[in-house]
Amino acid sequence: MGSIWELDFYSRPILDEQQKKVWEVLICESALDVRANTDSLFRYAKYCPSTQVNSVWLRTALQEAVEKAGEAPIKIRFFRRQMNNMIVKACEDAGIPALPSRRTLILNQWLQQRQEQVYPQEPGYQGGTNPSVRLERPLPQRLPDALEGQQWTFVSLAAADFNDMPEWEISFGEAFPLELMQVSPEANIPGILIFSPRALPLAGWMSGLDLSSLRFDTAQGERLILETGVTESWILANLRTPKLIAEAKAFEEAKQKANGVHFVGVQSSPQSEAFAGFWLLQEANLP
């Protein structure tokens, strides 16, 4: 499997000599494994004059990044939907698929670090934050009938258990180093396991959606909502008993104690030792 990159292209809190916002492209490699060395992940940053903000400039920057990295990624994730057309066009012209996604964990931390340590040192720095990237979310969709799990259950694992994750038999999935999210080895990581005789098709479908997080929602009844992409979401389960609702509340409490980290696993049965799918997730606000 090749690398996955995360990309942001947006204005920064810096003004040039003409009092115009300076733009910047940030590109970084995703951490795809619990044992990934985040210090060795590829990074690329370049400022862009406001007069050159277009897909041509961005494509050229992408080509420079690929040359610097030595190879192109298999895909690029980005979270700013308002930049969708420009980013997708530049990536397509560079021959790289682009995917709107909230799974930009390395990029989010890098942006925060630059907001605190880099931009304030630049000439023309203007305090304050950039406009919010929050977009109107559509209502959660119902899972296709053929993809609903037959059973599911809340579970938890010790953070230290994930050290062996690279040795687990997993068909579809993705992870990241827990220390990246400041999770101690003693912490408990909550999650759910979904069991289905169609485990492999279910896991393949979930993988294609680019999983972001799982949350307990009470806006329209007690439900488990699976967040995917940038704004999409799915009703994973309706909780109809006091016991399940109490377990869902405990899941949310444990998730907060673990800095938003949690997981979703898919297996053919409770007796299976293999995973058709397993995703380590984090619920976090975008920059």
pLDDT in tens, 117-131: 999 999 999 986 555
Nearest to 283 by CA among 203, 222, 224: 224
Residues 96 and 172 in one domain: no
pLDDT in tens, 157-202: 999 999 999 999 999 999 999 988 889 888 999 999 999 998 999 9
Does a structural domain hold residue 136? no
212 lies in which domain range?
141-282
137, 231 contact by CB (below 8 A): yes
Residues 80 and 170 in one domain: no
Residues 114 and 238 in one domain: no
Residues 113 and 217 in one domain: no
Task: Kindly give the interhelix angle for 84-93 and 55-69, rounded to the nearest 10 degrees.
Answer: 50
The C-alpha atoms of residue 144 and residue 160 are separated, in whole angstroms, by 35
Does a structural domain hold residue 190? yes
CATH of the domain at 109: 3.30.420.10
Does a structural domain hold residue 133? no
Residues 115 and 173 in one domain: no
The average pLDDT across 53-68 equals 98
Residues 102 and 148 in one domain: no
Residues 270 and 175 in one domain: yes
Residues 185 and 227 in one domain: yes
Higher per-residue confidence, 273 vs 145: 273
Total Cβ atoms within 10 A of residue 88:
17
Residues 241 and 113 in one domain: no
Residues 52 and 89 in one domain: yes
pLDDT in tens, 142-160: 877 766 667 999 999 999 9
Tokens (6 digits) for 222: 């007690």
- Return mean pLDDT, the chain: 92
β-pairing verdict for 223-228 and 232-238: antiparallel
Does a structural domain hold residue 287? no
Does a structural domain hold residue 63? yes
pLDDT in tens, 72-117: 999 999 999 999 999 999 999 999 999 999 999 999 999 999 999 9
Does a structural domain hold residue 128? no
Q: Which sign, positive or negative, has the C-alpha torsion 41, 60, 174, 112?
A: positive
Nearest to 24 by CA among 57, 46, 53: 46
| pTM to 2 decimal places | 0.91
Of 51, 86, 121, the residue that ends a domain is 121
Residues 113 and 157 in one domain: no
What's the CA angle centered on 40, arms 36 and 45, to 5 degrees?
Answer: 120
How many domains does the chain contain in total? 2
Per-residue model confidence (pLDDT) at position 193: 96
Does a structural domain hold residue 49? yes
Residues 107 and 169 in one domain: no
